[in-house]
Chains A and B, each alone.
Chain A
């Protein structure tokens, strides 16, 4: 019996030997469920507003890192949102609309504040149901330079804007703008709006956020012959407004009233003959220190002002000369609907294409660094700190 047992043990060992040789590695340790924290802010971080046009009550802002090419997180944005960053870049503000039962029911217009260090909503301010429901620009919602006031554009279709106290979470006033639209903040207490007459109306507020005075500028564009895009592009001390036919109107908002530089054209005679025009949803971006303007350009006639750019043209803001043109198609990219550039010394140019890809270029050379495929559904505005 003993020898029998020995034989069985030996046989068993022999059978198991190959298995023992391929013994599995030790099991993985148990994991801890954690919460990812955002990396430190970077000039190459971009906030991409996805209008989610096919299911418009579900817009969102997606954060993307232009160095690691990683999606960093999401801020929910409801329906037809306005979006902006606080002057210190630490807070995102979304002005949006919700209905009590998803697509219907009681309407609530609200501004939501998100802490950009952890993407948590910190608080909100409920608005009167007058928020301008329109495409996103820099001017749907915006802070005063000292962050003391927050302004929200209203259209009912009567035009006005709300003055909010973001710290106290209150609506301070509503200012009727007599048909002029959007909020272009300047200084601690001024708000300009674009008027159909081609003028800018500037309302100056008192310390309590009520109207102290208002003034109307001279006209700087003609809405009939060559309207400007409402997607102004930040320049030092103001904004550049591009026109449908390629004029650049630089407006200085640093004084009590806006002042206008002599407009200049993006187009040579040859460009005009070929019907080149700016277009898209976010038409241009400017690197302020370098004085470089990046514009999405296409060929087309009347009615093509929303057509995306088949090329991105680069201009020197001082000489008004085009210094580069970067066609999208040779890079196997669809046309550009929105462009944005980082403001650091190694700048990145971001282009959101009509296929919802995000292309990342070296803004100095035009070298394509990365294409983030199908980043969202309809990315129509990109913001950065």
Chain B
């Protein structure tokens, strides 16, 4: 929980720097509501089964890149099929000088983020994953990965991976994305 506390503390500080009081209150309300909901986020195994059944390009299918059949999630952080990356849209920091949960040298982590729920086949648990962007340098351009399990359009920003989550950073350029485990998803 400490990481969640830190996440939302940073979010609040960033918002205070970058938004008006009125919008701050509105957004804080949303974030607090989101924090309260995190342990309750639904875990929809049926949809995953549906994707696998259809043989559809549910995973590792970036725009602009040829897709392949859905592959089993792997434990390779350099692969877009790594289980934690189930809602990544961007460049994997593992391929950019960082790791799956560490920003590359010289960048800065975004304090605000979007959230996913991913299944780890190794222990059969579902985890809440925070997808922070790493900011302040131009696009890494390596290991483009676009997976969208439970991803929603930008009217639900906490679940949207199209927004540049570096938006509130002092250096707001987007470099790559990390996937940080926040905890096991409550059922």
Closest to B27 in A: A158
**Would you call A195 an interface residue if the criterion is a C-beta within 8 Å of the partner chain's C-beta atoms?**
yes
- Chain B CB count within 10 A is highest, among A80, A132, A158, A274, for A158
Which one of A97, A135, A230, A281 has the greatest number of beta carbons of chain B within 10 Å? A135
Pick the 8 closest A-B CB pairs, nearest first: A300-B56, A302-B47, A301-B51, A158-B23, A133-B164, A301-B50, A103-B138, A275-B54
Taking CB atoms and an 8 Å cut-off, the chain B residues in 102-126 that contact chain A are 112
Q: How far is the CA of A380 from the CA of B168 in the complex (A)?
A: 25
| Given A97-B172, A305-B151, 18 further pairs, Cβ under 8 A | A56-B174, A79-B173, A103-B137, A158-B20, A160-B23, A178-B26, A195-B155, A227-B153, A229-B153, A280-B63, A299-B55, A302-B47, A302-B51, A303-B147, A304-B56, A304-B58, A305-B148, A306-B61
Contact indicator A102/B138 (Cβ below 8 Å): yes
Are B150 and A303 touching (Cβ within 8 A)?
yes
Q: How many residues of B contact A (CB 8 A)?
A: 61
Q: Across the interface, which residues of A come within 8 angstroms of B81, CB to CB?
A: none
Give A271-318 interface residues, CB cut-off 8 Å to B: 274-275, 280-281, 298-308
- Check if A155 is an interface residue, CB within 8 A of chain B: yes
- Against A, the Cβ 8 Å flags (1 = close, 0 = not) of B120-148 are 00000000000000001111010010111
Let me know if A180 and B155 touch, CB within 8 A: yes
Some 10 contacts from A to B, beta carbons below 8 A apart, are A57-B139, A135-B162, A156-B18, A156-B23, A156-B167, A158-B23, A182-B154, A223-B156, A301-B58, A302-B48
The reply on A367 being an interface residue by CB < 8 A is no
Instruction: For residue A318, give the distance in angstroms from its CB to the closest CB of chain B.
Output: 28
User: Which residues of chain A (315-374) have a CB below 8 Å from chain B?
Assistant: 334-335, 337, 354-356
List chain B residues, Cβ under 8 A from A334.
Answer: 66
Q: Please judge, given known A-B contacts A158-B19, A181-B154, A229-B153, whether A302 and B162 are in contact too, CB under 8 Å.
A: no
B15 CB within 8 Å of chain A: yes
Interface size class of A (residues with CB under 8 A): 35 or more
Chain B positions within 8 Å of A260 at CB level: none
Instruction: Point out residues on B near A: beta carbons under 8 Å.
Output: 15, 18-20, 22-24, 26-27, 30, 44, 47-48, 50-59, 61, 63-67, 86-87, 89, 112, 136-139, 141, 144, 146-157, 162-164, 166-168, 171-174
Task: Evaluate contact between B57 and A307: CB separation under 8 angstroms.
Answer: yes
- Residues A275 and B50 in contact, CB atoms below 8 Å apart: yes
* Cβ B27 vs Cβ A157 within 8 A: yes
- Taking CB atoms, residues of chain B closer than 8 Å to A191 are none
B63→A380 contact, CB < 8 A = yes
The A122-161 residues at the B interface (CB cut-off 8 A) are 129, 132-135, 155-160
Chain A residue numbers with a CB within 8 Å of B18 are 129, 156
CB B114 to nearest CB in A, in angstroms, measures 10
Could you tell me if B54 and A299 are in contact, using CB atoms closer than 8 angstroms?
Answer: yes
Determine if A257 is an interface residue (Cβ-Cβ < 8 Å): no
Which residues of B lie under 8 Å from residue A230 when comparing CB positions? 153-155
B66–A298 touching, CB < 8 Å: no
A308-B47 contact in complex given A182-B154, A303-B147, C-beta closer than 8 Å? no
Nearest chain B CB to A77 CB, angstrom units: 15
* B174 CB, nearest partner CB in chain A, Å: 6
**Set of chain A residues within 8 Å of B148, measured between Cβ atoms:** 303-306
- Choose among A229, A302, A304 the residue that contacts B44 (Cβ–Cβ < 8 A): A302
Q: What mask results when residues 75 to 95 of chain A are scored 1 for a CB within 8 Å of chain B, else 0? A: 000011000000000000000
Which of A53, A176, A230, A335 counts the most chain B CB atoms within 10 A? A53
* Residues of chain B lying within 8 A (CB to CB) of residue A103: 136-138, 173
Pair A56/B138 contact, Cβ less than 8 Å: yes
| Cβ distance A34 to chain B, nearest Cβ, rounded Å | 35
Bound Cα distance A262, B30 (Å) = 31
In contact, A181 and B155 (Cβ under 8 angstroms)? yes
Residue interface bits A221-250, CB-to-B below 8 A is 1, else 0: 001000111100000000000000000000
CA distance A182 to B154 in the complex (A): 9
Q: What A residues does B147 contact at CB under 8 A? A: 303
Question: How far, in Å, is B25 (CB) from chain A's closest CB?
Answer: 9
Chain A residue numbers with a CB within 8 Å of B155 are: 179-182, 194-196, 223, 227, 230
Tell whether A54 pairs with B144 under 8 Å between CB atoms, given A133-B163, A306-B63.
Answer: yes
Residue from B65, B86, B172 with most neighbouring chain A CB atoms (10 Å): B172
Q: Does A15 contact B (CB under 8 A)?
A: no
Interface string of A249-268 (1 = CB under 8 A from B): 00000000000000000000
Query: A74: CB under 8 A from chain B?
Result: no
**Is the beta-carbon distance between A53 and B151 smaller than 8 angstroms?**
no
Q: Is A377 an interface residue (CB 8 A)?
A: yes
Nearest chain B CB to A111 CB, angstrom units: 17
Within the complex, what minimum Cβ distance (angstroms) separates A218 from chain B?
16
